[in-house]
Structures are given as C-alpha cells and as structure tokens.
A = this chain, B = another copy of it.
Amino acid sequence: MANKQVLTEFKQEYIPQVDRVLENNIQKASSVKLIVKAMEYSLMAGGKRLRPLLTLATLQTLKHPIDEAMVQASSAVELIHTYSLIHDDLPAMDNDDYRRGKLSNHKEFGAGIATLAGDGLLTLAFGWLTNTSLSDTKKIKLVHLLAHAAGPDGMVAGQTVDLSSDKKQLSLDELMHLHKQKTGELFHYCVMAGAIIADADEQSKKALSSFAWNFGLAFQIFDDIKDAPDDENQDDIDKNTYVNLLGMKGAKQKLKETVQASQHSLEELPEKFSPDLLSSFLSYFMVQK
C-alpha cells in the first residue's frame, strides 16, 4: 500500500529546501542575537519536517508547481510546531529536560527566554505567511486556518485538556477529541493549506480533509504504540494512551483501521490526481515491534 521509496525520494528533495528556508529566515528574524539563538536552537534541532512536507506533497498531488515561495509558505507551520514543543517542555508544563537528544530549550536558555522563544516563533509564523508571493486572499485563508488550528479551539485547547486531565482517566472518545485538537488540527491545516494554495476543487478538498483527520489520528496511535513500555509496568499505566485504553493488540488494530481509512480517503480524489505520494506518508506508521 504505502510505497516507502516514493516518500524517501520526496524527503530527499524537499527536506534540505525546507531546512534552508527555515535557517535563512530565522537568522533575519531579529536584531537581538539571543532570541535568534534560542529560536534557532529548537527550530534547527533536526525535526522531521513532516508538517511542511505534507503541504508540499498535497501541492504536488494537486499538480501545483513548487517553488521557493511554496516552500516558505509550507514552512511557517514548522515555527508553530517548534513553539509548541518549547512551551510543552517547560517546567510548568511537561517539564522535560531533553528533546531530540539534546537539552530542551529552557534547560539551555532558562524558562524565561524559552517562553519568549516560543512566543517569538508563534508570532513569526503569521508574519511569515504574509511575506510570500501568494495572493492576499490565499494568504488570509492560510492565516485564518492556521490561527484556528493552533489557537484556543485547536492545539491550545488540546494542550489545556491534556494538562488538566493528568491523572484523570479519559474515555476513548475524550482521548480522540483531545488528540484531534492537540495534534490533528495542525496536520489538517498542513494538508488543507496545500488545497487552498492549489485552488483545489470541492471533491479534492473533501478527500484531502478526510485523509488529514485520519492521518492525525494514526500519528497519535502510532506514537502511543511506539512509546509504550515493553513490559506493561506500573509507571505508564495511568497515562491516557490508546495502548492503555485498548491494550497493545487493540491499539494496533485501531492503527491498522485508521491507516486504511486514510488510504480510502485518498481514493476519493478525482482520477487525474494520483494518491501515491500522500499515500506514501502512511509508511510512517509501520509498526516495528
């Protein structure tokens, strides 16, 4: 089903371009060196660039040309993703000392500067979207959608429920809703941003939207499976995860169904558009263990 080779080639082409755009633009983001350094520290920490890639892959699927402006527009969401990780790691939130194998932002710069680095990246994302060569109408649609996806009824809502339901057992529906807001909304934005830029027809938009929601859900179930302790010890048992709610076997079954649903969504695209590239992104969710 998911052709990993297609994804590998796409990544080889576009990850360096996304990285270059991010690096160049973050260097110019401020006259104050400390805030540039703190933002760059987390932004250039070797992220997979999955979110920008999803927008670019949607553009390619819809046969829209990809130039520098497209890479820039697609990369703005990476600023949002990075800010959310920095704030999430703060002592007042998840209190994580490490991220991607190095010290978390606040361990390196202190919690004050880390808070500001997150604020800076979040604000910059919106400025960034206004600096592309897209039409004003498309820019406004992207700003509108991104503010919704990242805002108090999207990602921030999910993080609020996550933080306040610590040690409280959630139902499967509640957990799915939490993750839809916390991570699903931003994936949905990435795919729909491609649809907006490429002026997608209604049939394509519907198929892509459905793909994106299922992709986001699969992402979270996969994450829980990957992070589940090998022996079901006591440490993680009161965490709200799909593995704890459904058991490992149940979680794997749920992941399989969700990946299939993503695949089926793509088959609803008009015939002129090949589902192969977006379909290849589902290879992220191949369970190794």
Q: Interface residues, chain A, CB within 8 Å of chain B?
A: 29-32, 34-36, 39, 83, 87, 90-93, 106, 110-116, 118-124, 126-131, 136-137, 139-140, 143-144, 146-148, 150-153, 156-157, 159-161, 163-164, 181
Contact = CB atoms under 8 A, between A and B. Distances in A.
A150 B150 CA distance: 17
A143 B139 CA distance: 10
A104 to B, nearest CB: 13
A105 to B, nearest CB: 12
Contact of A130 (B90, B144, B156, B181): B144
25 contacts: A30-B151, A31-B153, A32-B161, A35-B156, A35-B157, A35-B160, A36-B152, A87-B115, A87-B119, A93-B115, A119-B156, A120-B151, A120-B156, A122-B122, A122-B123, A123-B150, A123-B156, A127-B148, A128-B147, A130-B144, A131-B144, A136-B139, A136-B140, A139-B140, A140-B143
Copy tally for this chain in the complex stands at 2
Contacts of A115: 87, 90, 92-93, 115
Contact of A92 (B31, B35, B110, B161): B110
Contacts of A148: 127
A55 to B, nearest CB: 18
Nearest to A181: B32
A122 B156 CA distance: 11
A33 B23 CA distance: 38
Nearest to A153: B30
A156 to B, nearest CB: 4
B120 A152 contact: yes
Given A32-B157, A34-B160, A110-B92, A130 B122 contact: no
A93 B112 CA distance: 5
